[in-house]
Amino acid sequence: MKSHADISKFLSYVLRHQPESIGLQLDTEGWAAVNDLITLAGKAGTPLTPALIEAVVRDNDKQRFALTEDKLHIRAVQGHSTNQVAMTWAEKQPPQTLWHGTATRFINSIRAQGLVAGSRHHVHLSGDEVTAMSVGKRHGKPVVLKIRAGAMHQQGFAFYQAENGVWLTLAVPAAFIDFS
Ligand code: HQG
């Protein structure tokens, strides 16, 4: 039987990146029908039940997923790269400072280009340094960059916050990044 972590990885893959890999359809806000997900995941070798999905969504360490109240639809709350999805959030005023965890090997490129979204739809920023550090560790030797989010917002850059607290913006010019 697959662990909750394995199922979370599977759900991240099909709900954020490659829904077509199992023939799943997401709407533009990222929602998939739970019944379709169960049928298609089962065919693809990942047996799911409504109770298992509920438990994975509830217990997920980063609260990556959300179910509708009637539990008929599920989505990833952020982190998408699939073009099936174009999520809309209300703009939100960020705190003065946000943090971005990355790897030291990316720093020269980030100095030159600023932070870019890459394959995802947004640059992901954290509200605290500890979280940013753990995000950076996923890529190698971590480094945490201080982002002048308040100044960016004042100059017209839009910020959004996903239900799990992750801050999102389209790009961060190098001028707003503190590399010290
Ligand atoms: C880097 C996880 C070179 C960027 C986390 C990052 C997060 C550049 C990498 C979420 C660059 C992209 C997202 C530039 C940015 N030159 N490198 N100009 N601009 N980068 O995984 O932020 O566990 O797409 O610094 O907790 O690491 O999946 O983004 O290192 O919230 O739920 O390019 O993923 O959540 O990597 O992580 P990613 P991320 P989950």
Please tell me the distance from the alpha carbon of residue 50 to that of residue 38, in angstroms, as a whole number. 8
C-alpha of residue 129 to centroid of ligand 1, in Å: 15
Name the residue with the closest Cα to ligand 1, atom 26: 135
Q: Which residues line ligand 1 (CB under 6 A)?
A: 12, 62, 64, 79, 102-103, 106, 109-110, 113, 115-116, 118, 120, 124, 135, 138-139, 166
Along the 180 residues of the chain, how does pLDDT read in single tens digits?
789 999 999 999 999 999 999 999 999 999 999 999 999 999 999 999 999 999 999 999 999 999 999 999 999 999 999 999 999 999 999 999 999 999 999 999 999 999 999 999 999 999 999 999 999 999 999 999 999 999 999 999 999 999 999 999 999 999 999 997
Q: Which DSSP string corresponds to 116-159? A: E-TTSSSEEEBSSHHHHHHHHHTTSSEEEEEEEHHHHHHTT---
pLDDT at 2: 86
pLDDT at 1: 74
Q: Report ipTM (2 d.p.).
A: 0.96
| Residue of 75, 107, 116, 169 best suited for mutating to test ligand 1, as the one with most atoms within 8 Å of CB | 116
Q: Residue 72 to residues 30, 126, 139, 146, 147: CA-CA distances in angstroms?
A: 13, 30, 35, 40, 38
Contacts of 40 (CB under 8 A, 6+ apart): 22, 23, 24
